Each structure stands twice: as structure tokens, then as C-alpha cells.
Amino acid sequence: MRLSAPRGTRDIKDREVLVFRELEAAALDAFRRWGYEELRTPIFESRELFRRAVGETTDIVEKEMFDFTDRGDRELSLRPEGTAGVVRAYLEHSWDKTGGIRKLFYMGPMFRAERPQAGRYREFWQIGAESFGNPSPQEDADTIMLAAHILKWAGLEWKDLCFHVNSLGCQECRPKYRIALASYLENRRATLCENCRARIERNPLRALDCKIDGPTMTDAPAPVGSLCQACKAHFDEVKFYLNRPELGFVFQESPRLVRGLDYYTRTVFEITTEGLGAQNAIGAGGRYDGLVKQMGGPEVPAIGFALGMDRVASLLKPREGNRILRVFFAFTGRSSNGAKATVWANVLRDKDRGEKRLGRPVAAILGDGGASLKSQMRKADGWGADVVVICGDEEGDKKKMRLKDMKTGAENDVDYSRDGDDDVWIDSLKILAST
């Protein structure tokens, strides 16, 4: 019996791997320009970490975490999100005591025991960023612009995305909104789903994020209506900075936008697109000024976001300039033909002699000299070769190689050396590969 990947997981392969790498490259470039440093946290952490950071009443902690107990009877969980682990590392390494700004980013898999569906996996990949130490609304706007530029440099157009922005208020004004929303929900109790009825007392904000009832609550009170003067001024400044015409950036104020995690305060944002059906969110984030203190540290302002790599990748195609040229060397006859093929393959793999002259990345593999040419051609086709370089006794006697375009089937013989240039055949390969 052949085994398959666990439910809700899959192998990332072929085209998607190329897109993942290009997305990662765009993110690395952006993080460098925005002054972020990489942090790699463990894939599993103490279960208590997520209970304290994410919130006991969230869906993640209540029913979506992969929990287990190790041989020392320690309660552990696969990480369902990235922020909690970064905050834990921030405190564990005493970065809070430096008194400065610390900007950290991460990339990697997260795990949630959700019902698998299109665009939603139990193992999913994220690119995330967390900025500590700057309470300014300018930092909020700058963080949103960082997320926007990663997506833009990965190949998405801003006009095809919607950037939703809202403010949830602070510890001073948020309780007022919570009371108003709970009262609204109580009046609609009979029409609410079972989960939302339970949320009225425990966490009413989560009802706005409900996939069943949330879209129907168009008349629900909005957080911005309860903001204190300081939070209103903060949010107005965030919008002021994002509205600079020179940025060429457009966003939408979404007054009922909330996030599914308890630690958010003030600015929250979400990035959606029309191309993914029901699972249309590709990124989200916000400010969480109280989380560091909640985790045992001092008062430290912080803001962050995460992009869903799986969903973003589904919107992208590999860039043609980055597509790998696959060259297969098929050789038969004398052992000297195999020796030539070995040398030629390594010439193509060389950054200066091969890739630089071809102007694109290249992959070269060798066939089996003990097999027939027909057999080697089948293997080349199965590998997905763009070009096959053939060298048998007949070609060797003429100091030529045969190049076959696997897309069109066209073949032509070329000299593999001439005075002053032993790599003259690369120019012929370049011409063939560009057609």
C-alpha cells in the first residue's frame, strides 16, 4: 500500500516551489530595506505560551492546536502562529532591556487542526514580521507598506488587492465597545449560530469575524465609534500617512474589521483579493502594545503581520527570467563521449562560464551511457528537459554535438570548439533556448 501525506498537508513541488522561492526572495529584499533581522523559532513551544498570548477563548486555543505531551510530561503544541514565539524569544534573550527598537522577521510552517478546504491547510506557511519599541502611528503605516511591498515585489499588483484598515482601541476604550457589541449580540441571540451565542459573554468581538453571522452584522456597532481621544488621534495619523499621494497606495477603512487573536490593540489590517473565493485573505496584522507585558515583560509597544505563503503563491506564476533551463546530456559509444558530456555539464553549471553566458539559471544532468539513446531520451523527457545534448561516436568523430529542442523536436549539429573558444556551443544553446 502506498502512503499519502496526512490530511490537510501536502507536498510543495514543481511550479509552487519556484513561486515560494521567489516570494521568499522578495520578502528577504524588503526586510533588508526595512531594517529587519531574521529569527528562527522552534516549531513547537510550551502550550502555555499560546494560551497566554493568543487567548484562552480564541478558536485557535480552544479547538485548533496540535497538542502533545513529551516523555518528560511537558505539555507542548505545534505553533499555530508566529507572534507568540517571537515575543517569547524577545523576552528570553533580554532584548527588552536594550531600550531600543528591534525588528524581527520569520518564515516557516504553522499548524492548525482546521477542516481542510481549498486555500486552508493544517500545515501552512507564513512570512511574518514583528517590530518592537516604536509606538508611533508612522510605524503602523510603515509596517503596512512593508507588507504591501513584499506582495508587489513578488509580482502582485496593488490594484488587484484590497488593504482593509481599522482600529480596535486600547484598554481604556475597548471595554466600552465590548459592552455595546455584547448588547447588540444579545438582542440578536435567537438568530446567532451556536458559537456566536457562546461568544456574547466570553469574547463578543469574535462574532464579527464569524464566517456565518459576521457578514449579516452590517448594523453592528463599530469599534471606531467607541475610540478614546488618544486612539482616534492615533488612527487618524495612520490614515494620514497612508494617504500620501506619493506612495501610490490605496486602502479601505473597514470599521468592523477585527482579528481572531486577543492581543491586538489599536491598528489592525487585513489584505484580501478577489481571486481566491471564500478564503480570500492573504495577510493580516496589527498593533499589540500589551502583549509583551502580558508575557511577563515591561510595557513595550509592538506591531506585526503575517502573509499566508500558500495563498499568495497560488496567485503567482514563476517569472520567466528565473525559469531554470534544463539540459540533459545523452551519450553513447566510446567512454570519451561520456567524459566530454561530464565536462560540458560542469561548464554549464559554472556561474561564469555557463549561467552568465546563458543569462539564466541552468540545471544539467547526465544520462546513462550504458543505455540506448532511445532510453536516455525517454528519461530526458520524463525529467522535463528543455534541451538534450547528444554525443555519440558519429558526433565525436566530427567534433560536434547535436542539440535537440524538446519542445519543437528540432535538431541541429554544432561545433563544440573552435580556436580561442572551447565553449562556443553555449552560444548555440542560448539561441535555441530563447526561441
Find the mean pLDDT for residues 393-397. 87
- pLDDT given at position 435: 64
Closest CA to 15 of 281, 384, 351: 384
| 92 exposure class (CB count in 10 Å sphere: 0-12, 13-18, 19+) | exposed
349 and 295: one domain?
A: no
- pLDDT given at position 357: 86
- pLDDT given at position 264: 87
* Residue 409, domain member (yes or no): yes
Tell me the pLDDT band of 180, cut-offs 50, 70 and 90: confident
* Residue 3, domain member (yes or no): no
Which domain CATH number covers 105? 3.30.930.10
Which single residue is written with the C-alpha cell 484598515? 165
Range of the domain at 408: 324-434
Q: Which of 314, 337, 363 is the last residue of a domain?
A: 314
Nearest-angstrom CA–CA distance, 341 and 395: 12
The answer to whether residues 293 and 299 touch, using CB atoms and an 8 Å cutoff, is: yes
- pLDDT given at position 40: 97
Nearest-angstrom CA–CA distance, 246 and 249: 8
What is the average pLDDT value for the chain, to the nearest integer? 90
Q: What 8-state DSSP symbol labels residue 12?
A: -
24 and 137: one domain?
A: yes
Which domain CATH number covers 338? 3.40.50.800
Q: What 8-state DSSP symbol labels residue 117?
A: B
Find the mean pLDDT for residues 73-101. 94
- State the total domains in the chain: 2
Model-level pTM?
0.86
283 and 348: one domain?
A: no
Number of Cβ atoms within 10 Å of the Cβ of 278:
10
- pLDDT given at position 398: 86
pLDDT in tens, 28-53: 999 999 999 999 999 999 999 999 98
Whether residue 262 is predicted with pLDDT greater than 80 in this model: the reply is no
Whether residue 5 is predicted with pLDDT greater than 90 in this model: the reply is yes
243 and 355: one domain?
A: no
* Residue 424, domain member (yes or no): yes
Whether residue 260 is predicted with pLDDT greater than 70 in this model: the reply is no
19 and 51: one domain?
A: yes
- pLDDT given at position 344: 92
* Residue 184, domain member (yes or no): no
Tell me the pLDDT band of 212, cut-offs 50, 70 and 90: confident
